[in-house]
Structure 1
């Protein structure tokens, strides 16, 4: 029901994760990231607790080691599909024996992709290639390029209806947490529109939190600074 990508920008050390599914509000359950630590996607028959638990492990160990610990004792693990990326850009992926339909994962330095109920098992590899195509581009742009590639290659067997993208940087909160919780025909296209709106403002909102006296004007009625 889902395809996702988790990635790290080697230049900025930022982490990002994006996910799309035929079910509503997929990013609320499946996308997890922590600044300076890494990112985790937990999908298929989703257990959202695996996201925070995985991030806690990534704070102390590599992605392959963290995944081994996480999957060793987790209940019903054969229903889960998990990807991880750590602070060094190492990646790991797991698909339980009860992962739905055509499924697959693909890993490379700084990027990991996975999907289930796919139209083709080659889709994760295509997502990774799309992400790596332009390492000079913004992390969010690269992630969305991978998501659009997945869709162009057939995506899920059926239509997707929700999508989201989470990006973390140096602060404790996400600098982008964008979600299309339901769209009848093109949630990834709507997510791309949201990113185009948010991207030029993202740093301003960090400044407003850390140093409001020097923050840019809010651009709303009544703001006379």
Structure 2
């Protein structure tokens, strides 16, 4: 399997982050990016499990693989479940960026705080954590926190205010009784450093996810059907 990854984003803000993370691990990996902002916008409106939206997510993942990437990674937590279930006929492997984060959170459990700037992200993240817990054969307890007012800052491109709103929301509830804090959206990752002094591991999906994906690219034998 050749070293080539394509990322499906719902915001162009993620392009630089994921390109940098891959390059830091293996600069020889070819990285491509596809941005489909409407998928997240519509998921907020109709729900991530809407059949028509799921088909559009599958189509976007398949299109992202059309240049030959053996792995396509969806970086949006809201549509990640649908992306990961994309039928591929073994032509590529669909991955959601937050799966490695969920596995780590479950390992740190049992009590997990999920923080999101969008309420629509909570359901898909809960389902993902429950999948990871079931696979590990452990029980978990999940608490939820929506960082009120954070998302409008994101939409305006005011990243500093966005991260500060996330940090302020977490600090306000002082969640010292939990085992791990999950920042459910990839865009929230910079807030992890500001929360690192809490004595609780704060998890974000980009670095953990990219490390896992590149390891799979290097080490895992995937039975893919040749595309040429």
TM norm structure 1 = 0.31
- More strand per residue: 1 or 2? 1
- More helix per residue: 1 or 2? 2
